[in-house]
Amino acid sequence: AQTVTQSQPEMSVQEAETVTLSCTYDTSENNYYLFWYKQPPSRQMILVIRQEAYKQQNATENRFSVNFQKAAKSFSLKISDSQLGDTAMYFCAFMKPSIYGGATNKLIFGTGTLLAVQP
């Protein structure tokens, strides 16, 4: 069974600085997707970024980028120029899409990292 581990329960960063959140996962699959979702105080789950395992290039979305190391099963999130609005719980998630057979698209989440951006 797949597992997702986020080893940093809490992190803090100064506004405008850069912070990296860690995520590792365990799977025997070769084709899968990885995601970062953020959950601000409103508790809404918001997609931050997505990475397909078959793509070697790391995904980027404006100030958010990932460092995807497939062999090491590592998927860290880098937030550049941190803003107060980035304060949230960040969840890493794994999915084996059903198009690859035998799976049903369910997301497997880590336990989250609470990020506080300090002014």
Give the binding site for another protein (CB under 8 A): 33, 35, 37, 42-47, 50, 91, 95, 97-99, 104-112
Q: Phi, psi at residue 100, to the nearest 5°? A: -95, 5
Nearer to another protein, 43 or 72 (CB): 43
Nearer to another protein, 14 or 98 (CB): 98
> What's the closest the beta carbon of residue 17 comes to another protein, in angstroms?
26
Residue type, 21: L
Q: Taking the CA atoms of the chain, what radius of gyration do you get in angstroms?
A: 14
CB–CB of 88/40 below 8 Å?
A: yes
Strand, helix or coil for residue 13 = strand
Nearer to another protein, 37 or 68 (CB): 37
